[in-house]
Amino acid sequence: MKPVFILLFSATWMQCGAQLYYQALMDYLENRLLAIEDHMHVWQEQARQYHVELQHLHKQSKKTMEGLNKTHSALSTDAEAAAVRMDRVERNMDLVESQMSPRACAKQADRVIEQGVWSQEESREDEEEDWQELSSSVTDCVEIVSSLRSVKILKRVGSSKGVWLRDPRSSKVYVFNGTMGDTIYQFKSVKEFLSSGVSLGHPIKLQSDWSGAGVAVYNGFLYYIQQGEDMHVVRYDLLLGEVTDVAILPVQSLAAVYSLNPETVADLTVDDQGLWLLYAGDEDEPNINLAKMDPVSLDIEQIWDTRCPRENSEAAFIVCGVVYVVYNTRLASRSRIQCVFDVNDKVVSEEAPLFYFPRRYGSHASLKYNPDEKQIYSWDDGYQILYRLKTKRKLLV
């Protein structure tokens, strides 16, 4: 009997212990669930608060964006109005510059006259009454540029820098895409060039690379700069397709003639009097030098120091033996002629018309004067532009 009692007591005790264990476990789980519910409630409150704050931020952002859009519209309107006013100011400046008289010289009675564009009859009458014969050992041309008559933007094709020009003795147009290469493109006329791209022209492969924008075409011959240990001028017959002569230039270094176009170490150009060379004697030479060249033998006939600084120069052209150097800034602005040199000493910078080019896309990589048309073939940031020039007689000093 006693063992049975002990067995029943043990079973009862074990059952009570198991109930207590399960009860404690249930209490623990319930407490954890309650804690989780509390945390979830806190998270829900925080999420609701964040949602409210986000809605408020969205409303504020929307109002701010609406205000910015209105401000942007107003600024755009002001900028357009400012651009219109700036264009008007530039046109007025161009008009004033074209109409201003550049300190004319006196005639026999030292009377100052206003310069303008003269007709042939007016020029003949004034020549008979007031003007003396202009003598010169270099050129007998008596014209000087007074202003720009018109500007025509033709197209945009090719690299940002290059050259296009027309032979004064023919209608053929030649395009040099870039600042170095051995291939140029020939077109029968400006009209053909306008109706096609560079690659659609007739390619001419040279026997050596041309370098920079200092090229010229004159009377069926191409003149270009070839760089190596020395700097050479190459004369190339465009009809026969062969080099006819090569000359070494009298320079001590390969310094750029124009500081804003360092690829151009020398610039060949033509006018009514023939072939000219603009170059820098050496790296320390501050001014641009000028040489008159024989277009057949490439002999240098005479050399001048133009006294026009290389610093901030971008290009130059020559009309009737007068060098017009075009300047700009490192950050491209309006190109301007502010230095003029006359090989006959009839015109100096202080007496010559100094004017601005209309603002365009960047700065000129090249300016090539055509004496037959009296206009400049310009390459400006890939755009091909024609500048028609106004000229008048040189005045006596």
pLDDT 10s digits, 80-99: 788 777 767 765 665 554 44
DSSP-derived letter for residue 241 is T
Predicted confidence band of residue 114 (pLDDT cuts 50, 70, 90): very low
Residue 273 phi, psi dihedral angles, 5° rounding? -100, -5
Q: What residue spans define the domains of the chain?
A: 1-99, 118-393
Q: What pTM was estimated for this model as a whole?
A: 0.66
Give Rg (Cα) of the chain.
40
Res. 370: pLDDT tops 50: yes
pLDDT in tens, 329-359: 877 778 889 899 999 887 755 667 778 888 7
For the beta carbon of residue 305, count every other beta carbon within 10 angstroms. Answer: 13
pLDDT of residue 87: 62
Q: 284-289 contacts: CB < 8 A, separation 24 or more? A: 285/255, 285/310, 286/310, 286/311, 288/257, 288/313, 288/316, 288/323, 288/325
Q: Which of 3.30.70, 3.40.50, 2.115.10, 2.40.160 would CATH assign to domain 118-393? A: 2.115.10
* Distance separating alpha carbons of residues 94 and 148, to the nearest angstrom: 9
Give residue 117's pLDDT.
30
What's CA 35's distance to the chain center, in Å?
73
Q: Among 68, 189, 149, 81, which residue's Cα sits nearest to residue 358?
A: 149
φ/ψ region of 280 (left if φ > 0, alpha if ψ in -120 to 50, else beta) reads beta
Which residue type does 20 have?
A: L
> 215, 132, 145: which is closest to 181 by C-alpha?
215
